[in-house]
Structure 1
């Protein structure tokens, strides 16, 4: 079988998984003579910084573990701008996949600079079926093709949501694939993790990046078995403050990265990223996955 390392699958015609597809690298300067992406680095940096500048509302975090509070969150997620993604999503749990559990659903709303930490463990199925005043539910929002949702590496999240809660993600933009798309063609050997993206592309000060990394390390020490922690830490209530910060920063950094990569995207790259993001979702739904497979980090799908 030919290796697909560093390649993106582009769907021919319909983006449904049951259609034929081919493996193709993102196109770049070395692929098409005369094709280049001109990026104003200052503009890109300003766009990224603007997502967390003084003009934005002060960041707030809400822990959601009751149905009335959840209904208000659902209402807050409807009617948001869709020309630029407003909703950024992440999940945490034990062995996050169809074989594991979902403990927390993190949703960051860009226009209000609010991060919701939804206690899926406590709310159970009602987490996704409880409606707001407009009768929307979290399930309907996650499945809507008309509401863009940004994930970073959607594969495990999609797998867990589909099998555990019967949620078929739609309208997904995978931030990890955006980074892969805008990377110089000769450097496309594998996809990058979130930490490297923050290190190289987030327009934070050195102190802010140090604080981000420290929070990451403190959170990981609580749940990573390799560091003496346990994934059971995500099931403890109240959640440890270090894990709260860990959950918040992973999803709240995404708008900054999205703005950085968006300035480098062309229409062609957007078409390929959206197609590849969709296929990542469908590929996870149609295969039996062995959890904790070390090759996951080396394959785009």
Structure 2
């Protein structure tokens, strides 16, 4: 299935996004965020959304829309805030912590029903009786569990070169409009893989999948609450340590 990418930077396009991610049969939405120093002290620039059964990755332009990105209500009474806070729809993230911090403290969004695939990856290793001390980043996890094409690596490297300071880039590139086409491609490609990643990880747990999934969901909710704490730091040196659950 070919996936298209749509930048939603007007209320009309946001209506189309809400219709797609709230369609009948949608039970899960993959979510990712991009921004400048993404946390309560930074700026949220883009929120990427991809619903199960859809062929469209939506990039909601928070830089252009501001708080309207979350508060705008479509003709059916739906908003991005209501979707993200819905118990009915599960949200797939990869390391939800800083995303939850930014959403809660900048836009008063309380994420509900989150499955953090970074924790699911920890569960895969622990279900194989491995001792897990450190977390795995998204790029490493994708490379480990999914056979990616050379194009994925090229898009990744082109995006990183634009925003990583050590590569000569700047995170402010996420705030510049019009968005660089390379940033659009970079922002869209990982969220488009989260459903596949969830399927592969779940298949690795065998007969213990249900038990581990329950524990992952509980630990994911704990991560969201941790990110709401006044003492939460998105740059803590302990962030790389795998939690017990």
Band of TM-score, shorter chain: over 0.9
- The alignment status of 1:232 with 2:175, answered yes or no, reads no
For 2:131 and 2:243, locate their aligned partners in 1 and report how far apart those are by CA, in whole Å.
Answer: 15
Give the structure 1 partner of residue 96 of structure 2.
154
Give the aligned length: 239
Give the structure 1 partner of residue 117 of structure 2.
175
Give the structure 1 partner of residue 200 of structure 2.
260
**Candidates 109, 130, 134, aligned match of 1:190:** 134
Is residue 86–residue 148 contact of structure 1 (8 Å, CA) maintained in 2? yes
Give the structure 2 partner of residue 223 of structure 1.
163
Question: Deviations for 1:252-298, whole angstroms, at most 9, x for unmatched residues?
Answer: 11111011012234211011001001000011112323343343223
User: Residues 276, 112 of structure 1: CA spacing in aligned structure 2 closer, same or farther, 3 A cutoff?
Assistant: same
For 2:203 and 2:242, locate their aligned partners in 1 and report how far apart those are by CA, in whole Å.
Answer: 25
Query: Unpaired runs of 5+ in structure 1?
Result: 1-55
Is residue 93–residue 102 contact of structure 1 (8 Å, CA) maintained in 2? yes
Let me know the Cα RMSD of the aligned residues. Answer: 1.6
Aligned residue for 1:102, secondary structure, equals strand
Give the structure 1 partner of residue 32 of structure 2.
90
Measure how far apart 1:109 and its partner are.
Answer: 2.1
Q: Which has the higher contact order (CA 8 A, sep 6+)?
A: 1
Is residue 191–residue 298 contact of structure 1 (8 Å, CA) maintained in 2? yes
For 1:100 and 1:299, locate their aligned partners in 2 and report how far apart those are by CA, in whole Å.
Answer: 25
User: Residues 153, 213 of structure 1: CA spacing in aligned structure 2 closer, same or farther, 3 A cutoff?
Assistant: same
**Candidates 106, 120, 143, aligned match of 2:62:** 120
Is residue 60–residue 113 contact of structure 1 (8 Å, CA) maintained in 2? yes
**Candidates 184, 188, 191, aligned match of 1:251:** 191
Aligned residue for 2:31, secondary structure, equals strand
* Larger Rg over CA atoms: 1
For 2:19 and 2:74, locate their aligned partners in 1 and report how far apart those are by CA, in whole Å.
Answer: 5
Question: Deviations for 1:63-90, whole angstroms, at most 9, x for unmatched residues?
Answer: 11001110121122113435xx531000
- The alignment status of 1:212 with 2:169, answered yes or no, reads no
**Candidates 222, 230, 235, aligned match of 1:287:** 230
Is residue 97–residue 157 contact of structure 1 (8 Å, CA) maintained in 2? yes
For 1:80 and 1:104, locate their aligned partners in 2 and report how far apart those are by CA, in whole Å.
Answer: 25
For 1:242 and 1:300, locate their aligned partners in 2 and report how far apart those are by CA, in whole Å.
Answer: 34
TM-score (normalised: structure 2):
0.92
**1:37-56 maps to which residues of 2 (within 5 A)?**
56=1
- The alignment status of 1:106 with 2:48, answered yes or no, reads yes
User: Residues 251, 129 of structure 1: CA spacing in aligned structure 2 closer, same or farther, 3 A cutoff?
Assistant: same
Query: Unpaired runs of 5+ in structure 2?
Result: none
Is residue 99–residue 291 contact of structure 1 (8 Å, CA) maintained in 2? no
For 1:256 and 1:212, locate their aligned partners in 2 and report how far apart those are by CA, in whole Å.
Answer: 14
**Candidates 67, 77, 89, aligned match of 2:21:** 77
**Candidates 231, 240, 245, aligned match of 1:297:** 240
